[in-house]
Amino acid sequence: MIAVIDYKAGNLTSVVKALRYLGAETQVTQDPEIVRQAAKVVLPGVGHFQSTQLLTDLGITEAVREGVAKGVWFLGVCVGLQWLFEGSTEAPGTAGLGHFAGVCERFPAEYESAELKSPHVGWNSLEQIRSDSKLLQGVEPGGFVYYTHSWRAPLVSATASVTNYGGAFTGVVERENVMGVQFHPEKSSAVGLRVLKNFVEL
């Protein structure tokens, strides 16, 4: 059973729909106990980092911390990936899980003397795919996925693939049982479904 955390993220329905399409059993929940007992946990997300404050308020942050320490598979999507880091300049008062080091920052308004539009919206490619990534098995370098975000996670040793927009940022992060994708696999056609399928089949 995959516990999908409901903290009113806009893409909750789409993420659940995609997981069920792939044959996964899912339970949408706000209950830290259910999160503690789940074999796998998915944290959807889109929108403002501030919304993740609810996770701490509900006791879910603690439940996830305990879960991942004992090996529960965890996948964060979009803001769900950002939450795995220490925080985001989008909401400096809201702490992330801090599983990965670093703080998420806004795209710069300019890059290499050219205007950089923000949000970064659309299909961009996954590059430098780490061959040992469980999440990206079967995904070719250059495969396209759908992004929509204005903040991005820094590059870390656990970065499993990067995407280039105003420089390279972490498109996928993965260390053992803890994973995150900045793009929206539930909206990324065949490549996105492949990533979710890889998670479902872990």
Partner 1 sequence: MLTKRIIACLDVRDGRVVKGIQFVDIIDAGDPAELAHRHAAAGADEIVLLDITATHEGRGTLIDTVKRTASELFVPFTVGGGIRSAKDAALVFDAGADKVSINSSAIARPELIGEIGGSFGAQAVIVAIDARRAAGAADPVGEAEVFVSGGRKATGLRVIEWAREAEQRGAGEILLTSMDTDGMRNGFDCELTARVSAAVQIPVIASGGAGSAAHFAEVFGRGRADAALAASIFHFGVTDSRELKAELQRAGIPVRLPC
d(CA 43, CA 46): 10
Q: Which of 48, 66, 186, 201 is catalytic?
A: 186
Shortest distance, CB of residue 148 to partner 1, whole angstroms?
4
Q: Which of 78, 99, 104, 149 is catalytic?
A: 78
CB nearer to partner 1: pick between 35 and 136: 136
The count of chain residues that interact with partner 1, using the rule CB under 8 A, is 36
Binding to partner 1 by residue 189, rule CB under 8 A? yes
Do β-strands 2-5 and 40-43 pair in parallel, antiparallel, or remain unpaired?
parallel
| Catalytic annotation present for 186 | yes
- Select from 30, 56, 118, 128 the one that contacts partner 1 (CB under 8 A): 118
Contact 102, 94 (CB under 8 A): no
Binding to partner 1 by residue 123, rule CB under 8 A? yes
The alpha carbon of residue 147 and the mean position of all alpha carbons in its chain are separated, in whole angstroms, by 11
Strand partners, 173: 159, 180
CB nearer to partner 1: pick between 11 and 61: 11
Binding to partner 1 by residue 188, rule CB under 8 A? yes
Strand order in the sheet with 151-152: 87-88, 103-106, 151-152
As a three-state string, the secondary structure of 77-115 is ECHHHHCCCCEECCCCCCECCCCCCCEEEECCCEECCEE
- By the criterion CB under 8 A, which residues form the site for partner 1? 10-11, 13-14, 17-18, 21, 46-48, 109, 115, 117-125, 144, 146, 148-150, 164-165, 184, 186-190, 192-193
Catalytic residue ranges: 78, 184, 186
